[in-house]
Amino acid sequence: MLAPPMALLLELTHRCPLACPYCSNPLQLAGMKQEMDTAGWREVIRQAAEMGVLQIHFSGGEPTLRKDLPELIAYTRELGLYSNLITSGVAADEAALDHLLACGLDHVQLSIQDATAEGADHISGYRNSLQKKSRFAEWLKAREVPSTLNAVIHRQNIHNLPAMIDLAMAWGVGRLEVAHTQYYGWGLRNRAALMPTREQLEQATAIVLAARDRHHGELVIDYVTPDYYARRPKPCMAGWARRFMNITPTGEVLPCHAAETIPGLVFDNVRQRSLADIWNQGQAFLKFRGTEWMPEPCQSCPKKELDWGGCRCQALALSGRADTLDPVCERSPDHERIQALAEQEAAQGDDAFVYRRPEKVVEDV
């Protein structure tokens, strides 16, 4: 019998004050009028609890822009599920945070774009972003809220990684996620402006390893490496449709946040089909679940039930096919070409961003 997903990522909205050029949201953003209503999201949470899901992650866009967020968190607590808020920290005031905590919020994941005010504003496309995040972090620290700091790094901020680690210590978070940009959505659109050099990657890795030793017992540091320089693929989402489900603002149910980029997949909407039925029998979930879909040399690889073939969306983006080897694997015929592509883009020095904006594309000049 198929085990239920461990967690649901609820993308309540695509609305967000920030315009981060590495955002994994799709290039076509859902508008406010397309968003599922409160009753719809409550039904999703109810079905999740019934299935045996353990965690609900409230995301976006910026989830605090939804006026019904306190009600949804309270309902999550009522059903005995763990709640995590994934936020930019710039849209909620202190009273709003207290309201969410009173409703039963368990954990907060706060994002930063850089450790300097100038860099943070440039990357986020939003003024005074770091100042507002710092204030939000102070509120979390004062209330001893379990929290994670998420730092997405790339060529234009990687030099400030030591300062980001210092911020995590100063802000009193329990966990820091140092995540190299993953190239989906706007991240893929801006890849040439974001790709680090191999030297930068090696330096960042050394910094993280040293910081883990230095702050052992005080700060847990997770490290997400960039796939393009790797020799082996990561088990994306712990394997396609094995542990996680993603619900878009419009109610589409996805095996991962970028799955809509794959042509030919049929995505069910939770307003027309039950969550459990989609998880067990949905066409998009069955397509790449397990190992039967795998071609050679994946089929004969002893690691096939460890990395589950890597990322389907990345395979599509880099090779043009979702049903082939993830090109970051050294056994892929595209492997050397992808590494050369990464090095070429990193060396070009083109730092112009296309910012994440609804209904229009804004070039950074």
Which tens digit of pLDDT belongs to each residue from 213-240? 999 999 999 999 888 999 999 898 899 9
pLDDT confidence band for 364 (50 / 70 / 90): very low
Query: How many Å apart are CA 66 and CA 48, to the nearest integer?
Result: 20
Query: How many Å apart are CA 243 and CA 239, to the nearest integer?
Result: 7
Query: How many Å apart are CA 345 and CA 312, to the nearest integer?
Result: 22
Binding residues for [4Fe-4S] cluster: 16, 20, 23
The pLDDT of residue 67 is above 90: yes
Q: What pLDDT was estimated at residue 73?
A: 98
Cβ neighbours of 318 (radius 10 Å) = 23
Query: Domain 1-359 is of which CATH architecture?
Result: Alpha-Beta Barrel (3.20)
Q: What pLDDT was estimated at residue 348?
A: 86
Sole residue written with tokens 């070009």: 348
Q: Nearest Cα to 211, choosing from 203, 201, 199, 219?
A: 219
Cβ neighbours of 130 (radius 10 Å) = 22
pLDDT confidence band for 312 (50 / 70 / 90): very high
Q: What pLDDT was estimated at residue 362?
A: 37
Q: What pLDDT was estimated at residue 104?
A: 98
Percentage of the chain beyond pLDDT 70 is: 98
Q: What pLDDT was estimated at residue 83?
A: 98
Q: Where are the domains of the chain?
A: 1-359
Cβ neighbours of 51 (radius 10 Å) = 17
Helix (H, G, I), strand (E, B) or coil at 83: strand
Binding residues: 16, 20, 23
Which tens digit of pLDDT belongs to each residue from 157-210? 999 999 999 999 999 999 999 999 999 999 999 999 999 999 999 999 999 999
The pLDDT of residue 361 is above 70: no
Q: What pLDDT was estimated at residue 365?
A: 25
